[in-house]
Homo-oligomer: A and B are copies of this chain.
Amino acid sequence: MFIKTFGFMALVSAATLLTPLSQAASLSAAEQADLMQLKEITLNSDLSYQLIESLTTEVGNRMMGTPGDEKAVIWAQEKMKALGFDKVWTEEISSELWLRGQARAKIVAPYPQEMTILALGGSVGTPGDGITAQVAHFATLDELKAAKPGSLDGKIAFVSYRMERHIDGHGYGAAVGTRVVGASIAAEKGALALIMRSVGTDDNRTAHTGLMRYKAGVKQIPAAALSNPDADMLVNQLKRGKPVSFHLNMSSSREKQLVKSANVIGEITGSEKPDEVVVIGAHLDSWDVGTGALDDGLGIGMVLSAGHYIAKLPKRPKRSIRVILFAAEEIGLLGAKDYVKRHKNDMDKHMIGAEWDFGSGRIYRMTPGVGASALNGVRELAAYLAPLGVSLAPENNARAQSDMGLLSDAGMPSVNFSPDGLAYFDYHHTENDTLDKVNAEDLKQTTAVYTLFSYFAAQSAIDFRK
- A: residues with CB less than 8 A from B are 53, 56-60, 67, 110-113, 116, 203-206, 228-229, 232-233, 236-237, 290-291, 430-432, 434-437
Q: When the two chains form the complex, which single residue of B116, B228, B236, B290 contacts A431, counting CB atoms closer than 8 Å?
A: B116
Answer whether A237 and B57 are a contact pair too, CB < 8 Å, given A229-B432, A434-B229: yes
Nearest CB on B from A352, distance (A): 36
Q: In the complex, what residues of B have CB within 8 A of residue A58's CB?
A: 110-111
Bound-state CA distance A56–B233 (Å) is 9
Closest to A436 in B: B203
Known: A203-B437, A204-B206, A206-B206. 5 other contacts (CB 8 A): A60-B113, A113-B291, A203-B432, A205-B206, A228-B436
Give the number of times this chain occurs in the complex, counting copies. Answer: 2
A229 touching B435, Cβ below 8 Å: yes
Q: In the complex, what residues of B have CB within 8 A of residue A437's CB?
A: 203
Q: In the complex, what residues of B have CB within 8 A of residue A203's CB?
A: 432, 434, 436-437
Q: When the two chains form the complex, which single residue of B67, B205, B431 contacts A434, counting CB atoms closer than 8 Å?
A: B205
Q: In the complex, what residues of B have CB within 8 A of residue A233's CB?
A: 56-57, 291, 434-435
Bound-state CA distance A339–B56 (Å) is 51
Bound-state CA distance A67–B113 (Å) is 11
Q: When the two chains form the complex, which single residue of B53, B228, B232 contacts A236, counting CB atoms closer than 8 Å?
A: B53
Q: In the complex, what residues of B have CB within 8 A of residue A53's CB?
A: 236
Q: In the complex, what residues of B have CB within 8 A of residue A229's CB?
A: 432, 434-436
Bound-state CA distance A202–B113 (Å) is 24
Q: In the complex, what residues of B have CB within 8 A of residue A57's CB?
A: 111, 113, 233, 236-237
Closest to A430 in B: B205
Q: In the complex, what residues of B have CB within 8 A of residue A232's CB?
A: 434-436
Closest to A237 in B: B57
Q: In the complex, what residues of B have CB within 8 A of residue A290's CB?
A: 205
Q: In the complex, what residues of B have CB within 8 A of residue A112's CB?
A: 60, 67
A431 touching B205, Cβ below 8 Å: yes
Closest to A433 in B: B205
